Amino acid sequence: MPALRSAEWWSKGDYYSFARRAWLRSEGFGDDIFAGKPIIGICNSWSELNNCNAHLRTVAEAVKRGVWAAGGVPLEFPTISLGEMFLRPTAMLFRNLMAMDVEESIRGNPIDGVVLLCGCDKTTPAQLMGAASADLPAIVVTGGPMLSGQWKMRRLGSGTDGRQLFDLYRTNRLTPEEWCEVEAGLARSPGHCTVMGTASTMACLAEAMGMTLPGCAAIPAVDSRRLLMAEHSGRRAVQMVLEDLRPSRIITRDALENAITACMALGGSTNAVVHLLALAGRLGIDLALSEFDVISRRTPYLANIKPSGQFLMEEFFAAGGVSALLQELLPLLHAGALTVTGKTLAENIAGAVCHDRDVIRPAAAPLHSEGGIAILGGNLAPGGAVIKQTAASPALLTHTGPAHVFESYQQMLDGVDNENLPVTSDTVLVLKNAGPKGGPGMPEWGHIPMPKALLRQGINDVVRISDARMSGTSFGTVVLHIAPESAAGGPLAAVRTGDSITLDVPNRRIEVNLPPEELARRLSAFTPPASPYTRGYGRLYWEHVNQAHQGCDFDFLRRNP
Ligand code: FES
């Protein structure tokens, strides 16, 4: 057994060792907890301000049972929690703050290993990033998806169906009473959103990269099997300390490529691109945005889950979950990648069976021959941009039309409900100043609600482009993460209403049809916005955040390759 790190806190024979033992015993522990037992931190992002993680205290109790049973000592600690629905101006602004909280809480305390409890969108990547930087043995237990929503005889996917029904309500096709019923039935339990949004995606990718026990991601939040999974994870955390199995041995380039492959086959959230780039940066792995496209082109889209498909996470779980999906993808994966079990990915999923071929398609009969996400280039996005092609209208994937520009989010909000907005089905809606700095925090504004004037004509989708992100639960022909962003002087800043824009997904282009000299002339007049922050975390963020194609991490938190 390796020397325990925690022993440095209480085994030196000096006054402070005595004092630390005495202070910890004030919680009622006996002195046997200092007798060479691994101390397992339980890093809990529980919060009543984050409904998706509101059950994690119960999950933590199950983890503790496992840790005790395996001969370790569990010590639970809180971190900030990022509730996607509540946090202003946007949870993404604080992902790096949470990652720093996680990293320093692990590093600064008498911990030998850690179990990471997460769920809502940003909490999983923040914990992965922090744990990767601290690099002590770590295992993830995600909180699981909430129960499927219910309204009349309809099953609802939080986010995705809520948005669709809101469009009916705002155009008077649902009554206020019906809208009230939808509100009551949309989110019926704790747990993260139950479509393949960012939270489900990141949970599945944590499993695909080997950071959870097999089968963890898809178990519903309130299913008793999640508590069993948590207990097993607690037991395993103790063994990982004894084996000195750290994130740097698990989250390798191969593991990240496995996660990207899984993301493409899942029709996963575009936000995963940003988070995986940031995670790679924490480990000194030089992962480029363009590599996502290489993997996407060779990976079939298989998971028939909203918003790209038909089903919800409960059906994905019943069909076999991530293990069944990975089994289908095995020829495209690095099968020998090490995982938290101490075994390889291939060993973990041996014998996994798919129970419903409508939910997880066979690789030979995919829903789409390519992965869910395409990476675009072109004169509007020299650093790249992303589109979830499987959630887009096929007819719009190749499209040229006139731009209608919103210079800000507020201008967009003021415009979309204007019945006289001069837009047609050909229009390309453009939103500026919504990127990492422009938002600030790169909010999920990129979906851009469909203008009322178009909805009334029965037009439910037009091309929309921005430097923002989009909720993983959203859908439509939406180009996101344009880099560099407009607030940093990227070419998007030069686009004006009436300019011709071309989207060409098969050829991976997003272009403004202007001569290069005109684009350069307009950009030469660009003036960067002033920082909205003079102090505090906002100022740190503004001064150090990277662009989307670099993962939006802080420059000083990346590790050199
Ligand atoms: Fe937390 Fe959707 S709001 S996962």
Q: Please report, in tens digits, the pLDDT of each residue of the chain (561 residues total).
A: 778 999 999 998 999 999 999 999 999 999 999 989 999 999 999 999 999 999 999 999 999 999 999 999 999 999 999 999 999 999 999 999 999 999 999 999 999 999 999 999 999 999 999 999 999 999 999 999 999 999 998 999 987 888 889 888 988 899 999 999 999 999 999 999 999 999 999 999 999 999 999 999 999 999 999 999 999 999 999 999 999 999 999 999 999 999 999 999 999 999 999 999 999 999 999 999 999 999 999 999 999 999 889 999 999 999 999 999 999 999 999 999 999 999 999 999 999 999 999 999 999 999 999 998 999 999 999 999 999 998 899 999 999 999 999 999 999 999 998 989 999 999 999 999 999 999 999 999 999 999 999 998 999 999 999 999 998 777 899 999 999 999 999 999 999 999 999 999 999 999 999 999 999 999 999 999 999 999 999 999 999 999 999 999 999 999 876
Give me the amino acid identity at 504: D
What's the count of helices (H) and strands (E) in the chain, helices before strands?
20, 14
Report the atom number in ligand 1 closest to the C-alpha of 50.
1
- 3-state SS, residue 236: helix
Report the atom number in ligand 1 closest to the C-alpha of 471.
2
Residues 5 and 110: beta-carbon distance below 8 Å: yes
Please tell me the distance between residue 242's alpha carbon and the centre of ligand 1 in angstroms: 35
CA angle 263, 265, 270 (to 5 degrees): 40
Tell how strand 398-406 and strand 428-431 pair up.
parallel
Please tell me the distance between residue 158's alpha carbon and the centre of ligand 1 in angstroms: 8
Q: State the DSSP H helix or E strand holding residue 398, giving kind and residue range, or none if neither.
A: strand 398-406
- 75 Rama sector, left if φ>0, alpha if ψ -120 to 50, beta otherwise: beta
Residue 16 CB neighbours (<10 A): 10
Q: What DSSP state is assigned to residue 134?
A: H
Q: What DSSP state is assigned to residue 92?
A: G
Please tell me the distance between residue 525's alpha carbon and the centre of ligand 1 in angstroms: 40
Residue 561: predicted pLDDT: 65
Report the atom number in ligand 1 closest to the C-alpha of 473.
2
Question: In DSSP terms, which residues pair with 466 in a beta bridge?
Answer: 431
Buried b (16+ CB within 10 A) or exposed e, 175-204: eeeeeeebeebbbbbbbbbbbbbbbbbbbb
- 3-state SS, residue 218: coil
Residue 525: predicted pLDDT: 94
List, as one string, the DSSP characters of 11-79.
Answer: -S-SHHHHHHHHHHHTTT--GGGGSSPPEEEEEE---TT-GGGTTHHHHHHHHHHHHHHTT-EEEEEE-
Q: Is the dihedral of CA 426, 478, 384, 82 positive or negative?
A: positive
Report the atom number in ligand 1 closest to the C-alpha of 158.
2
* Location of structure tokens 């909280």: 101
Please tell me the distance between residue 51's alpha carbon and the centre of ligand 1 in angstroms: 8
CA angle 330, 365, 313 (to 5 degrees): 70
Residue 391: predicted pLDDT: 87
Nearest alpha-carbon partner for 125 in 51, 218, 201, 44: 201
Q: What DSSP state is assigned to residue 528?
A: P
Pocket test for ligand 1, best of 120, 195, 447 (most atoms within 8 A of CB): 120
CA distance 420 to 432: 21
Residues 378 and 492: beta-carbon distance below 8 Å: no
Kindly state if the Cβ of 444 falls inside 6 Å of ligand 1: no
Question: In DSSP terms, which residues pair with 464 in a beta bridge?
Answer: 429, 478
**Domain covering 374-529, topology:** Glucose Oxidase; domain 1 (3.50.30)
Strand residue runs (E) in 320-382: 373-376
CA distance 263 to 272: 8
Report the atom number in ligand 1 closest to the C-alpha of 52.
1
- 3-state SS, residue 317: helix
Residue 242: predicted pLDDT: 97
Q: Which residue lies with its CA nearest to atom 3 of ligand 1?
A: 84
Residues of the chain with CATH 3.50.30.80: 374-529
Q: 322 is written with which tokens?
A: 């991530």
Find out whether the peptide bond into 38 is cis, omega within 30 degrees of 0.
Answer: no
Residues of the chain with CATH 3.40.50: 37-147+195-349
Residue 135: predicted pLDDT: 98
CA angle 513, 516, 521 (to 5 degrees): 110
- Just give the CATH number of 37-147+195-349: 3.40.50
CA distance 511 to 534: 36
Q: 142 is written with which tokens?
A: 């995600």
Kindly state if the Cβ of 121 falls inside 6 Å of ligand 1: yes
Please tell me the distance between residue 127's alpha carbon and the centre of ligand 1 in angstroms: 16
Q: Which residue lies with its CA nearest to atom 2 of ligand 1?
A: 193
Give me the amino acid identity at 330: L
Q: How far is CA 172 from CA 160, 265, 285, in A?
A: 19, 37, 51
Q: Which residue lies with its CA nearest to atom 1 of ligand 1?
A: 120
CA distance 370 to 372: 7
Please tell me the distance between residue 207's alpha carbon and the centre of ligand 1 in angstroms: 18
CA angle 454, 440, 533 (to 5 degrees): 145
Q: 517 is written with which tokens?
A: 């000299």
First CA to last CA across the chain, in angstroms? 31
CA distance 468 to 459: 23
